[in-house]
Structure formats: structure tokens, C-alpha cells
Amino acid sequence: MSQTDQTKKLLLLDGNSLAFRAFFALHNSLDKFTNQEGLHTNALYTFSNMLDNLLASEQPTNVLVAFDAGKTTFRTKMFDDYKGTRSKTPAELSEQMPYFSTLLDAYGIAHYQLADYEADDIIGTLAKEAAGEMPVVVVTGDRDLTQLTSANTTVKVNRKGVNDVEAYTPEYLQEKLGLVPDQIIDMKGLMGDTSDNYPGVTKVGEKTALKLLTEYGSVENLYEHVDEMKQSKLKENLINDKAQAFLSKKLATINVNAPLTVSLADTERKPVDEAALVQFYQQMNFKSKLAKLPQTGTDGEVTAPAMIAISFTELTAANLAAALAKKMRRSFVIDILGDNYHVEMPIGFAFGTDEQWYYSTDLGLLTTPTLKDWLQDPEQEKDVFDSKKTMVLMERLGAPIKAMTFDLLLASYLLDTNDNSNDLGILAQQYDYFDVQTDLEVYGKGAKRAAPTDVAVLGEHLARKARAIYQLRSELLKQLQENDQDQLYDEIEAPLAIVLAQMELAGITVDSQRLKQMQADFSKTLSEIEALIYEDAGHEFNINSPKQLGTVLFDELNLPIIKKNKTGYSTSVEVLEQLQSAHPIVQRILTYRQISKLQSTYIKGLLKVIHPDHKVHTRYLQTLTQTGRLSSVDPNLQNIPVRLPEGRKIRQAFVPSHPDWEIFSSDYSQVELRVLAHVSGDKSMQEAFKSGYDIHAHTAMKIFGLSDPSEVTPDMRRQAKATNFGIVYGISDYGLSKNIGISRQQAAAFIAAYFEQYPDVKTYIDNIVALARQQGYVETIMHRRRYLPDINSKNFNLRSFAERTAMNTPIQGSAADIIKVAMINMQKRLQTENLQAKMLLQVHDELIFEAPTTEIPILEKLVPSVMDSAVSLDVPLIVESAHGKTWYDAK
């Protein structure tokens, strides 16, 4: 045997298995991937990406992709039903199969199939041949191939998705299953394989198979000693299914002596046939692959992917005036490396038009009169990416920006909430624009993230981003118009970005002394409870570790196991509440958890993010949620405790920024149910709102068949309330039963009664699901859109989820639309009324302000009137207000 050549490496790919993985990885986007001829291309696209990744990461000198030859193989001769239950390859994949060879030929990669043999056998035979010649890496989606691992061969198995691989070496196999590679076939023999449809031994699965192999080593040895086993059902099954076990083992065994007509030499990589590859990409309409194709110069030197050249120059005091001489629409970009634009300093900026692009890293230039004037000139239009971030940064730099008439980030979010990214480069690709790199490529990630040391490289990137915005503008505006979303963009999201920027910049004052006082109190309480818990447990442990806590409760104290999760015992509140009477430790843990949460998230967490101005400046994420709601980060001010009295006290630390000011808060009452009453047109529900009834009590009367509100007990009201919520969330009897602790039958009866009383609600949810199925998306009252690619999925879970979101999104999303309109109108009114009051926070259905005490009576009239008139629904919108010295007191 010759010496292993470490400069060489053989990569063997299981073509069919990877094609399947590739196909199903993008199964939901099947219709997005078709070429000019109507051919589906999703599997080819993903496969070619996989191939690129593998070639880059493995750097093989030799590659072969093995395919199955046909339906019948030597295995089907041994066992008629081999792979008999396997469902037919989807037509959308079959039609792509012939093109895999075209792609591989262009890549200069060998591919091979052999009549009567499977891809596995080809791979096994070649891997054996390569032993002693060169190391081998096998890539597949099929675990059976792990039997091939050896000192020379690593088998990489794709888990879910495409990039998540598990690398099997003999050591890893030993560690994971406690088996040597040869025992994989013994395991298969005992447990069988449902996807290949061979039986194994009845009632033996992976667990039992592993146990048997640990004891007996192999199928053969097991059967030599089977008589010695003590009487059991397992023993009977083993004896009865002996023939099947041996047959299954044989079927699972890869033939490493297949009569191949290719040799190792044939697997050597040939140069990429670039012309063929370009033609292939063009035929398949792989624009991103075309754009990334390395260019070969006339001297044969390979250079970076081709991007259309850009004319950019460094901005200086000298060329500044000329750069801005003409009045025209320009795009403007300013970058920071991280996310928090309230604290980070920008690394540079760029602006210009297709004629010329300018960049600079000198932020001082922004405040020179010429540039400053241009920035704040309301007549000079600017195209940007993320107007809120841009506005905050420019305010901080003392160079306010006005007239941001196009925001690429906002526009693309409205067009499709699914493929939103905060990275301009990634987003541009969605619109087939490739002349800009991603921030990840230019700045790096994690610890390595930094501005390029070469200023020209940074300048070019900034200029390219500015150009991408400039050039994508008309396409996105056109699509917004096609979707009937131009009003949503122009009148809601774009002006809202400015309002949000103002709210973020204003910030809310936090009384850190109050927080520190609470911190000290909580610390004391925590150590007291901690001591009691250790006493109960008999030893110290980390109470915050669900794992350690589980051990204490269920292994040591032997409390009944209520629920498990994938990592072990569940110790969630639901579980602990059921265990309360079983042991005094449980109540203490519940208390500990509650205080500990307040301490870490709300006291310590909040103290960490207070700025020198004594305020917290959250960031509202305007382009994140699938429904159109905002979210809040750094810190999240939309989940400050309110339900429990202990937690609610945190709100005492949120105070006005001036003495003699107060916190003022207004919230919509049951806005989602009102939206439901409106969109469903249900007369009965609309009547209840118009008459000003307590909607939950009204619902209780309806579903319990009562004739007078006085008959409604608090418990009936509670259950009716839960049912109302359930409807909004996309009801299921199981979910409702779990939520209010009744039987599934009772829950089903509630729902039936509900639909009988509110028949138009029933019609509405049936119709909305049907509509989603037909058009692929749902809309809010302001035409906000959510695509639901899973609505027609064959997977029950995915489809059900899509159906529930089809019901919920128009409701939650329309409520979000309404408060957004209210916020824009509100900010205007504060200005036109010359009020000092400031709008500070939004918490989905409530707005929080600070204002001089003298303005409170004005706000008490103004805010509700602006909020309840934001939109006109078929039912009234009701707004409730409160005020006080702190947020806590505004209740």
C-alpha cells in the first residue's frame, strides 16, 4: 500500500441525498425559483451553493458526486420491497435532476452512476480505494454512510437545513453511540429502516439496538447467545425475526467492491469551464451566482467578483461646494459598526448621485455650513437606508437632516416582512442588485468587526451603498404602488420614523437612586430565600439553573414529574404551581424566581443602560415584526412589569425629566377586539361595542346563554375573556382548554357557542384563511402585507400555524396601524398647540408622555381625541388616560 498523500483530498458526495436536502431546504420558496422556461430551480440553486461552500471549506483535489442509477438494484433482488414505501420523487425535483450533470461538468467535477448499485456503494468503493492514497470526506444526508468512517474517512451528515453538518469520525461515533463503524450495520439490522422500508426486529428501535450491541457486539454474536437470554417479549421478538435481522443487516451493508468503471484518477478536479458555468447560471436565472463569479483577466489572474465600477472620490473642504452645487436628489449614507446609534460614533459617510459619489471619514465636515445647509434644506431630497437611525446620528453630530424622502429599509420591509434584513447588501440582493457588498463582508463580525484600514476601501463601500439606494429607489416605489402600499409608506411608516427618532432622542428619565434602593432590598430578600431553599434541599446549588433545580426537585426530593422538555425536567411556573402543596421549597423557588427576574432584568439591566443624561434611550425596531408592531430594545421598554405588585414598583423609577412635570399615559381599550368587530362586520359584536357594554361580560352572557348581565359570575367573565383572546390568536379547542383549565370538549363547546353568537366572526376567519390560501398573503386595514408561504404546506404544523397567523395578523397588524397613525397625528398636535409635553414611549396600545403639570388638563382632552380619531371604524375606539408623578402612579 502506498503512503497516504496529505496534499491530496477526495470529496465524495451523495448526489441524490444532497439533491433531496437541497430541494426541501427551499421547498417553501419553490415558486420563487423558476427560470424563464418555467423549470423549477430551487434544488439546483441550493446544491450549487452547497458545492461552492464545500469546495471552499474542504479544498479537495479530487471530487466525485455519486448518483443512484435506477429503481432496481442488487438490494431489490434480495428484498422486493426495498425502498418500497418511499413516496415518488416530487415532479418539481425530477425535472431538475438532469441538470445536475450540466452543473458538475461546468465545475469540472466527476459524477457517476452504476446500474444495479446505489450511490452509497459507489462512495464506499471509492473510499476504500482511496485508503492509503489520500484522506476522504464523504458528504451525505444519510446516516447509514457513517459505517464508512475510518482513520482515513470522515463522513459529514447534513442535519436539518443545508449548512448544519455533523462530522462522523470513528471517535465521534464511539462517543455518540458507543459503536465502532462496522456496528452501524448491526444497529440497522436490528432496528430496520422505515425510509428504506426494511423491517429489522419488531419493537426494536435505536435505544434497544444500542443496548443489545453494547452487550453482544454484533448481530451474529447476539444470535449465538440468544438462548441464554432470560425470557422476555424482546427475546421472543428476536427469535421470531431472526431472518429479518440478518436480511436487514445485509441490506444496510454498503458494497465496497462495486464493479466501478471509474478510478481514483478520474476523480481529479478539472479546471472550471467558465463559459459553461456562465451559460448554466444564465439558463437557470441565478443572478446572484453570476454576480459572484470570479473574473479571469487576460493574464489568467483571478480577481474579485465583478461589480460595476463606481466613480467615487474623497470629500474635502475644497471640493465640497462643487459636490453640492446643483439642487438635485441625492442619496446619503452614514455608518456605524454596531447597532446602537445612540452611543456609537459613525465611521464615515457618503453621498452623491450617479454622476459622482463622495465619501469622508471626517465627521467634522458635516457641520461645515455648505454641507449642513444641504442636510437641513427641506427642498433637497435625500434617499437613505434607515431614516430613523440616520436622523438620530445626525442630531447627535449637530448636523440635523431633513427631507429624507426615500428609505430603502422601510420600503423593503413593507414589501415583504419575511426577507427583511438590516444589511443593505443582503437586502439589495433580494432585488437582484449585486453591485454592493454586505457589511459582513466589509466590516467582518464578532471580535473581528472593524472599519477597513484602507480608507479608500471604506469609502468605496459607503459610496456603493449610497448608489444602491439611489438606483433601487424607483423599483421599490413601483412595487409599493403595485401593492397599493404607497399610502402606508408615505403617510405612515416614513413620517413615523421621524416621530420615533424624536421619541428615542427624548428618552425617559430613570431615577437610579430608586433602582439602587430596590436592588439592595431585593438582594437581602434573595439571600434569605436562598438560605431557606438550600435548607430544604439539604445542600447548596444554583437555583437559576433549570437543570440543577430539576435534579433537586425530581431526583432528590422525588416530587412528581409534571412535564418534560427536550433537555430534561421542566421547572416552569405552570409546573411549580401544581407542585406547591407537595413541598415548601416550591413556593420559595417561585418567590426566588420572581425576585431574581426583577433583579437581573429590570434593576441591574436598566441600571446598565442609563446614559449620562440620566435617561434611557431605547431603540424602536420599525422593520422587524411580522405584524407591523414595533419592538423595543436596549432596553426593552415594552415589557416593564405591571401585572404583579412587586414588579409594578419598578415603574416608580421612571420619572419626568423636570420637576413639576408628570407622566401621562393613555391606552386603547380592547383595540384588537374592536378591530375584529370592524373587519368581520359582526353586528352582534359591533352592537356590544356601540352600546358601551363590558365586552367580556357580554360575551359571557352570549356563550352561557344568560339573559341578564347580573347573572354573569366573575369566573364566567374570565372564561369569556380567554375565549375572546383565543379568537384573536386563531383559536383551537386545545389551546383554550389549556389556558383556562377546562376540558377540551368544554372548550370546543365554548367555541361553538361563540361562533353561533357571533356568526360573522366565524365567516370572517373562514374567509381570511381561504383568501390567504388563494393569494398567499393577508393584509391589514392600511394594506400592510404578510406573506404566508406555509399556508398550503403539507406539513400539518406549518400549515396550522400559517392559518392561525392568517387570522391574527390582520387584527394585530391593524391595531398597530391605528396607533401608528395616532402617534403621527399626536406629534403634530403637540407642535401646533405649542405644548411642552413630549411623547416618550409606545407600548403597542398605549402612549406615554411627560408634561408640565399645568398641561395635564389639556392632554386629558387632547390625547384621547387624537387617538380615538386616528381611523374611523364601524365601532368606536375608546381611550383611557391616567397621570402621576411617576410611571407607576400613572395608573
Partner DNA sequence: TTCATCACG
Partner DNA sequence: ACGTACGTGATGAAA
The footprint of DNA on residues 611-650 (CB under 7 A) is 621, 624-627, 629, 631-636, 638-644, 647-648
For residue 576, give the H/E element and its range. helix 573-579
* Binds DNA (CB under 7 A): choice among 75, 593, 702, 785: 593
Q: Which stretch binds DNA (CB under 7 A): 263-271, 469-477, 480-488, 796-804?
A: 796-804
Please, what is the minimum distance in Å from the beta carbon of residue 728 to DNA?
7
Position among 594, 793, 825, 853 found at the interface with DNA (CB under 7 A): 594
| Residue 547 touches DNA, criterion: CB under 7 A | yes
Tell me whether residue 563 or residue 828 sits nearer to DNA (CB atom). Answer: 563
Give dist(CA 365, CA 316) in Å, integer.
Answer: 8
- Which of residues 483 and 627 has its CB atom nearest to DNA in the complex? 627
Residue 203: how many CB atoms within 10 A of its CB? 13
Residue in 15, 135, 141, 730 binding DNA, rule: CB under 7 A: 730
List the one residue from 271, 297, 446, 714 that touches DNA (CB under 7 A).
446
User: Which residue, 780 or 805, has its beta carbon nearer to DNA?
Assistant: 805
- Using CB under 7 A as the binding criterion, the count of chain residues that bind DNA stands at 71
Question: What are the DSSP calls for 164-197, one per residue?
Answer: -EEEE-HHHHHHHHS--TTHHHHHHHHH-BTTTT
- Using CB under 7 A, which of 102, 511, 725, 781 touches DNA? 725
Nearer to DNA, 126 or 875 (CB): 875
Cell of residue 632, nine digits: 423595543
Does 702 bind DNA (CB under 7 A)? Our answer is: no
Q: Among 18, 10, 116, which Cα is nearest to 72's?
A: 116
> Residue 818: which of 851, 788, 786, 842 has the closest Cα?
842
Pick 330 or 629: Cβ nearer DNA? 629
According to the binding rule CB under 7 A, does residue 846 interact with DNA? yes
We find the least distance from the C-beta atom of residue 192 to DNA, in angstroms, to be 21
Q: Which residues pair with residue 842 across a beta bridge?
A: 847
CA distance 188 to 197: 11
> Which region among 314-322, 512-520, 596-604, 880-888 touches DNA (by CB under 7 A)?
596-604
Minimum separation from the CB atom of position 184 to DNA (A): 23
Q: How far is the C-alpha of 669 from the C-alpha of 691, rounded, in Å?
A: 14
Select from 150, 601, 669, 793 the one that contacts DNA (CB under 7 A).
601
- Specify the residue, 587 or 626, whose C-beta has the smaller distance to DNA: 626
Residue 153 or 596 with smaller CB distance to DNA: 596
* Length of the chain in terms of residues written: 891
**Min separation Cβ 879 and DNA, Å:** 13
- Does 341 sit near DNA (CB under 7 A)? no
94 is a contact residue toward DNA (CB under 7 A) = no
Q: How far is the CB of 171 from DNA (least distance, A)?
A: 17
Interface with DNA, residue 767, by CB under 7 A: no
- Residue 525 binds DNA (CB under 7 A): no
Helix%, strand%, coil% for the chain, nearest 5: 55, 15, 35
CA-CA-CA-CA dihedral for 271, 275, 280, 282, to nearest 10: 140
Q: Which range of residues in 390-398, 595-603, 699-707, 775-783 is near DNA by CB under 7 A? A: 595-603
Q: CB-wise, 127 or 807, nearer to DNA?
A: 807
Q: Check residue 295 for interaction with DNA (CB under 7 A).
A: no
Is the CB of 223 or the CB of 801 nearer to DNA?
A: 801
The 8 Å CB, 24+ separation contacts for 147-150 are: 147/181, 147/182, 147/184, 147/185, 147/252, 147/253, 147/254, 148/123, 148/124, 148/181, 148/254, 149/173, 149/181, 150/181
C-beta of 239 vs 573, nearer to DNA: 573
Nearer to DNA, 285 or 631 (CB): 631
Q: How far is the CB of 648 from DNA (least distance, A)?
A: 7
- Does 605 bind DNA (CB under 7 A)? Our answer is yes
**Ordered DSSP codes for 721-734:** HHHHHHHHH---HH
Which of the ranges 394-402, 435-443, 470-478, 591-599 carries the binding residues for DNA, by CB under 7 A? 591-599
Distance, CA of 231 to CA of 305 (rounded, Å) = 69
**Residues in 800-839 at the binding interface with DNA, rule: CB under 7 A:** 800-801, 804-805, 808-809, 812
Residue 524 or 604: the one with the smaller Cβ distance to DNA is 604
Decide if 697 contacts 718 (C-beta within 8 A).
no
Instruction: State yes or no: residue 731 binds DNA (CB under 7 A).
Output: yes
Strands 404-407 and 382-384, by their bridges, are parallel
- Binding residue for DNA, selected from 3, 36, 527, 567, defined by CB under 7 A: 567
Q: Residue 85: exposed, middle, or buried by beta-carbon count in 10 A (0-12, 13-18, 19+)?
A: exposed
* 754 lies in the site for DNA, by CB under 7 A: no
Cβ atoms within 10 Å of 782's Cβ, excluding its own: 20
Q: Does 845 bind DNA (CB under 7 A)?
A: yes
Residue with smaller CB distance to DNA, 217 or 444? 444
At its nearest, how many Å lie between DNA and the CB of residue 350? 28
Q: Are 401 and 375 in contact (CB under 8 A)?
A: yes
Residues 238-277 that bind DNA (CB under 7 A): none
Stretch of 291-299, 479-487, 529-537, 720-728 lying at the interface with DNA (CB under 7 A): 720-728
User: Site for DNA (CB under 7 A): which residue of 726, 755, 791, 862?
Assistant: 726
**Between 255 and 669, whose beta carbon lies closer to DNA?**
669
Q: Could you tell me if 168 and 144 are in contact, meaning their C-beta atoms sit under 8 angstroms apart?
A: no
Span interacting with DNA, options 33-41, 190-198, 376-384, 538-546, rule CB under 7 A: 538-546
Nearer to DNA, 106 or 650 (CB): 650
* Nearest CA among 478, 486, 329, 475 for reference residue 404: 329
Indicate the DSSP class of residue 86: P
Nearest distance in Å: CB 830, DNA: 22
The reply to whether 600 sits near DNA by the rule CB under 7 A is: yes
| Comparison of 544 and 713: residue with beta carbon closer to DNA | 544
Distances (CA, A) of 405 to 335, 389, 473, 875: 19, 14, 10, 35
Task: Answer whether 431's CB lies under 8 Å from 415's CB.
Answer: no
Q: SS3 of 684, please? A: helix
* 3-class DSSP state of 125: helix
Q: How far is the CB of 341 from DNA (least distance, A)?
A: 14
Q: Which stretch, 109-117, 252-260, 689-697, 736-744, contacts DNA (CB under 7 A)?
A: 736-744
- As measured in angstroms, the least distance from the Cβ of 820 to DNA is 14
Q: By CB under 7 A, what part of segment 51-70 binds DNA? A: none
Mark the segment that binds DNA (CB under 7 A) among 77-85, 193-201, 487-495, 792-800: 792-800
Determine contact, residues 15/66, Cβ cutoff 8 Å: yes
Instruction: Give the number of other CB atoms < 10 A from CB of residue 167.
Output: 12
The dihedral region occupied by 783, where left means phi > 0, alpha psi between -120 and 50, and beta the remainder, is left
Among the residue ranges 87-95, 204-212, 544-552, 865-873, the one whose residues contact DNA (CB under 7 A): 544-552
- Rounded CA separation 547/544 (Å): 9
Q: Are 267 and 10 a contacting pair, CB within 8 Å?
A: yes
Q: How many CA atoms lie within 13 A of 169 on its CB side?
A: 6
The distance of closest approach from Cβ of residue 337 to DNA in the complex, given in angstroms and rounded to an integer, is 16
Q: Considering the rule CB under 7 A, would residue 752 count as an interface residue with DNA?
A: no
**Nearest by Cα to 848 from 635, 725, 667, 584:** 667
